[in-house]
Structure 1
């Protein structure tokens, strides 16, 4: 008997099908991968299970009994727990309060909130993931992205009165986690499986799926393509079924060599929590920023964009000196930025695609700085949307209606809308499927071939090794070294991040000087 069974689930938006008679069964004690490109229907299916979206047609049963899930509390009552890809937290509340969002607080006699018990139950939920370094009393806004995700995951393991958890639905839970944090989560998921519970696991990280899951269901264009045991399904077959074509190489080949002239020169740039850093990126060069969580990669990009307070140093863009005092000045100077949190930092989700693409450059699309030139704005938005291969009903579509991969393409279209000299990318393919990743990588290659300098901060080491000419390794808020990416292995790169120099020498990988700006 299935623990969870769905039959004939269908849903359409404005006449456009998102799900086409989808059937899915989850056995007791299994981790079941749900795979598909962004826009394949995964998120819609999860929202239907969560009681957030009403299906047009569906039959759902839990442990062989037909159920109706028409609201989130109904999903909870039937034992479903959800970890969503996008972080929905309240920064001004404590960690414990965030863990209890939507749950009744423990009370003392007289009805007063038992704050000590609240913190203790939150601590126990965190402990299920092996987390002891996060204080439940601290404000959520003080945590980094990875710790925020760990807190969000821990909410599924909160033991409170009510229905017992049976099925955990996880949408890209490791997108913001380090390798060690991910391994702790995997250990908990395996324990759930041993105890007879089940997990629906959504991830674009195929290595995780192959390592962790028992079966895989692939969706494409809202329909089930196949359900198979992982042991019988090679990784390249999953990719082919997801996108309907074979991808011979994960990363497109370089289209041109980098130039000799520097597009970006950074000299002793410093900020809060970041030691003075110096480096340069040449025209047409793709440079990566690598390091362990919190090493300072994102902080470098935010300082360059004027999003954080600069404490010293100089920056030259295209030979012209000028440190950005705010993001608007950075955009005007020739920098463009794709932030790691696309929904909260890169998009205005309630506004149309066109407005999001041109949002950072309204002064360039206006007459006399007062009246917006709508025809020119639409022309630029149309051209950039086509260039990033955006899939949407039209440029008037609201961004919250798009899949995660297409939302990311809108952020790229905004960054490229005025042809910047330097493109700054922070986790550019986080939560993006393999097909959309290849589109994004191809776009980066095309623009670097035209002479644009690209600086990528990423926790995905294969991505850095596959795309970059050179990788700057950061450690504890400063630059440790700079390495040629040619012939560099993931193991050697990781060893540099940890600072184990002897192992590096034994591999024979030369380190390049990172002491000052390159000429």
Structure 2
């Protein structure tokens, strides 16, 4: 018998169905993967399980008994624990306080918080993931994205109103390194062997095939496939998600890089960066990799005009580095940030407003806005990237996370930039949209756009980059050619286990 049984789940917004008759069985001791394209209904299903969103109609049973899913408190009493894709961290609170956010804190004499016990229990939860470098007393706002995800993962292991019986993880590895992901998988296996049910939401097919016993695929709010993982295949999962045949892999290069140099760094240093030296040619894709916080974000932000060189020389299109992001956009330097909601979107504004924001001067006439032209440009981008939306005037916050990412990418590529800076451009994006994004990047490179791609997805870097810059602690360790490398070899270079062969 299923630990949790969901039958005939329905949810609509404004008359538009988001979930239609979805049924799902989650069993104790089993990892069950949930997949689907962006906008397929996965996030809505998770919010209903968490009691944040109320279903229009559903029959839910826990151990065969009827279960209400109306409030977060009911979900907590049922033993449900959640790690959502968007990281809800309170920056001003400590790591330990964030881990216990929403849970009773240990107290002394029933009154004052027992800080010693609180920090010790937080350290124990982190240690389950092999994490000992995070101080439970540190302010959470000072940590990188990967460490913030580890905090949220640790939070699901601390107490609630009832013992944990179901763990729901939404894209948990999107911000983690390979080593951190491996530790997470070991904890998931440990939780499943302890009798918990795991609902694992991911776009990464390799993870699902290796980790999950069963998989359910949603498409357009309905169950398109539900089967044991051993009885399906990568091709079947992609077909169920997209409704069409999609060839995996990366599209071929459409043109070779041109001789003209778009970006040149000569022994550049700035902040924690040092020893940066490379030429980036028009139409070339330079991958940037390293361990977490090795300087990838610092490099992109420096090229965007945040900060100034402390030594060495730097040029972009024959001029010095921009002095601000606004100047960078005017000069044709576009940027896709790692954290779309925090850095890339105006959540209350429309899809159109978010798409055309840095292009308003070009789209206006004599300083006056041209709403029809703005909407036409936004629609062109939406169609090219297969954006799922109801109308262009809807607030961007109503889109799924992956579709929000497409808006950010569409804004950056609306006009062909001279230099495109990408940080985790396909984070939380489904397999079909990835192919659309990759094709768009190939097209931009063929038009002469130079691209700097910082990503923890090593197959993505290897599939798109001409050369790869390896950073260690802010220093340039090497630049190698991507041809002939595989993910294992690149990972060994990142850790310094192999000697790199310099790229020509």
What aligned pairs does 1:131-142 form with structure 2 within 5 A after superposition? 131-142=131-142
Inter-partner Cα distance in structure 2 for 1:364 and 1:313: 34
Query: Which has the larger displacement, 355-364 or 48-57?
Result: 355-364
Structure 1 residue runs of 5 or longer lacking an equivalent are: 505-509, 514-519
Q: Conserved in 2, the CA contact under 8 Å of 1:255 and 1:445?
A: yes
Q: Report the CA distance shift for 1:26/1:501 in structure 2 as closer, same or farther (over 3 A).
A: closer
Task: Determine the C-alpha separation between the residues in 1 that align with 2:218 and 2:381.
Answer: 28
Instruction: Give the distance between the partners of 2:114 and 2:366, measured in 1 at CA.
Output: 60
- Cα pair 1:317 1:334 within 8 Å, conserved: no
SS in 2 for 1:492: helix
Tell me, in whole angstroms, the C-alpha distance in 2 between the residues paired with 1:453 and 1:85: 30
Give the distance between the partners of 2:491 and 2:193, measured in 1 at CA: 32
Instruction: Report what 2:313 is aligned to.
Output: 314
Shift of 1:376: 3.5
Residues 308, 102 of structure 1: alpha-carbon distance in 2 compared, 3 angstrom cutoff: farther
1:388 match = 385
Q: Which residue of 1 aligns with 2:214?
A: 215
Q: Corresponding residue for 2:437?
A: 440
- Matched residue, 1:299: 298
Please state if 1:355 is matched with 2:353. yes
> Post-superposition shift, 1:159?
2.7
Match of 1:116 in 2: 116
- The alpha carbon displacement at 1:83 in A equals 0.4
Relative to structure 1, is the Cα distance of residues 454 and 128 closer, same or farther in structure 2, using a 3 angstrom cutoff?
same
Are the equivalent residues in 2 in contact too, given 1:317–1:333 (CA < 8 A)? no
Cα distance between partner residues in 1 of 2:153 and 2:498:
35
**TM-score (norm. length: structure 1):** 0.93
Aligned to 1:33: 33
How much has 1:308 moved relative to structure 2?
Answer: 4.3
- Tell me which residue corresponds to 1:517: none
2:496 aligned partner: 499
Aligned to 2:466: 469
Question: Which structure 2 segments of 5+ residues have no match?
Answer: none
Deviation of 1:461 (Å):
0.8
The answer to whether the 8 A contact 1:124-1:158 is kept is: no
Give the drift of 1:338. Answer: 0.4
> Per the alignment, do residues 500 and 195 of structure 1 end up closer, same or farther by CA in structure 2, a change over 3 Å counting?
closer
Q: In 2, are the aligned partners of 1:125 and 1:159 still within 8 Å (CA)? A: no
Residue 501 of structure 1 and its aligned partner are, at CA, apart by: 3.4
Q: Which residue of 2 aligns with 1:104?
A: 104
**Residue 10 (1) aligns with residue 10 (2):** yes
Deviations along 1:153-178, one digit per CA (max 9) or x if unpaired, are: 11100135x21100000000011111
Partner of 2:279 in structure 1?
Answer: 280
TM-score for both structures, normalised by structure 2 = 0.96
- Structure 1 distance, partners of 2:428, 2:110, is 46
- The answer to whether the Cα contact below 8 Å between 2:30 and 2:192 also exists between their aligned partners in 1 is yes
Q: For the residues of structure 1 that align with 2:232 and 2:80, how far apart are their CA atoms? A: 28
Offset of residue 366 of structure 1? 4.5
Find the partner of 2:327 among 301, 326, 329.
329
Q: Structure 1, residues 324-360: CA drift from partner, whole Å, max 9, x if none?
A: 2221111112100001111111111111011111223
Check the 8 A contact 1:284/1:452 in 2, yes or no. yes
Task: Say if 1:20 and 1:222, in contact at 8 Å, map to a contact too.
Answer: yes
**How far is the alpha carbon of 1:404 from its aligned partner?**
1.9
Shift of 1:365: 4.2
Kept after mapping to 2: 8 A contact 1:38/1:433? yes
Helix, strand or coil for the counterpart of 1:265?
Answer: strand
1:86 alignment partner in structure 2: 86
Q: Does 1:225 align with 2:224?
A: yes
Shift of 1:385: 2.5
Give 1:67 deviation, angstroms. 0.9
Taking the aligned partners of 1:130 and 1:458, their CA distance within structure 2 comes to 23
Match of 2:68 in 1: 68
Cα distance 1:251–1:10, how it changes in 2: closer, same or farther (>3 A)?
same
Does the CA-based 8 Å contact 1:121-1:159 persist in structure 2? no
370, 373, 377: which one aligns with 2:374:
377
Alignment check: 8 A CA contact 1:351 1:398 kept: yes
SS of corresponding position for 2:108: coil
Q: CA deviation at 1:361?
A: 3.5
- What is the CA-CA distance between 1:322 and the residue it aligns to? 2.4
> In structure 1, what is the Cα distance between the partners aligned to 2:47 and 2:395?
18
Aligned with 1:157: secondary structure?
Answer: coil
Q: Could you tell me how far apart the structure 2 residues matched to 1:394 and 1:415 are?
A: 21
4+ runs deviating over 6 angstroms: none
